[in-house]
Structure 1
């Protein structure tokens, strides 16, 4: 399976002027989730997939649905 960079996640972080370390700190402070900066970077790069708990926490931080960040939407060409 090819890794897909999560550009939406990166852009949400940058819109808030946060570093990856900032997101990791928020995850720890607000949700009690401890991950490394490196692991978070791998999530952004698509090299790692977060657990459901971590994915939900990330989506709450950015106030968007989990599907907007972690699921690729493909349209079925037959329907169009």
Structure 2
């Protein structure tokens, strides 16, 4: 069973994280270590399956060495 992203925003956040991680030559496990999370969290985030808290968003930004705004700029909330 293939799981779908929680929303367009979570999908796009995952795409952004992957696009920032890969050029740095770091894998999901290394990003997880840098961010202080489990590697499965990184995998789920990159597939849009996790809606991250503010604290985890800040951890990912720090692990990637970017301003947190770079991860969320322009994202729209899901329509109910």
Runs of 4 or more consecutive aligned structure 1 residues displaced over 6 Å after TM superposition: none
Secondary structure at the aligned position of 2:22 is classed as helix
- RMSD of the alignment, in Å? 2.0
Q: What is the match of residue 74 of structure 2?
A: 73
Q: What is the match of residue 22 of structure 2?
A: 14
The whole-number CA distance in structure 2 between the counterparts of 1:25 and 1:63 is: 13
Query: Which structure 1 segments of 5+ residues have no match?
Result: 29-34, 75-80
The whole-number CA distance in structure 2 between the counterparts of 1:62 and 1:22 is: 10
Task: Pick 1 or 2: higher relative contact order, CA cutoff 8 A, min separation 6.
Answer: 2
Query: Which structure 2 segments of 5+ residues have no match?
Result: 1-5, 76-80
Deviations 1:20-76 (A, max 9, x none): 000111123xxxxxx32112111111110222111112112223222321x3616xx
The whole-number CA distance in structure 2 between the counterparts of 1:63 and 1:22 is: 13
How many residues align? The count is: 67
Answer yes or no: is 1:42 the counterpart of 2:44: yes
